Amino acid sequence: MGILQITKEEQELMLSRFRVMHADKDEILVREGMASNRMFFVKKGCLRIYFLQADGTEATRYIAFENNFATALMAFITQEPSLEYVQALESSELLYISRGEFYDMMNKVPGWEHFYRKYLESAYVNNTNRLMSFITMDATARYKLLLEENPAIVQRLSNKMVANYLGITQEALSRLKSKLSKG
């Protein structure tokens, strides 16, 4: 969970208020223009958060595997229409809570705002690192960073999705792998 240092008790407190739901493989839970009114937690499977670039291609911001929270966070905060999509990459068992309940809990449940503060710190750092990597790094550097920080993405997802995550074509990814295995 990266720098999100919450205790098991804090997490269980949160999750006791969540409901169970299922998402099919490739199902889209939030689209661009929709409200983002649920916070999700991945019990089993995998959620992807992505947005469309100026040329219409998809850019993946975040991939949440088991035991991670995920939502289209900017729209969750602002209640404006989402710029991001939330998609299940695998058949997934999810927990969720509505945005209204989530914010309501902050006034009612001790520790909830503390959890959310830590979650926001983690989301800020992850997202800033991720978006800055598009601006400051080339594809080779992004691939090395991915292998170091999030190897599950390479191990578990299709080459197509890994290439998308890196912002390159599948052909470029093949060349990159071949280059690095020789180097």
x/- letters, 29..58, toward a copy of itself (CB under 8 A): ----------------------xxxx----
149 part of the interface to a copy of itself, by CB under 8 A: no
- 118 vs 27: CA distance, rounded Å: 29
Helix locations, 23-168, DSSP H: 73-78, 99-108, 112-136, 139-149, 151-156, 159-166
9 binds a copy of itself (CB under 8 A): no
Say if CB 55 and CB 105 are below 8 A apart: no
116 interacts with a copy of itself by CB under 8 A: yes
**127 makes contact with a copy of itself (CB under 8 A):** yes
| Separation CA 179–CA 183 (nearest Å) | 6
Structure tokens at 75: 């729209």
| Residue 135 is a binding residue for a copy of itself (CB under 8 A) | yes
Q: Which residues bind a copy of itself (CB under 8 A)?
A: 3, 51-54, 59, 73-74, 77-78, 83, 113-114, 116-117, 120-121, 123-125, 127-129, 131-132, 134-138
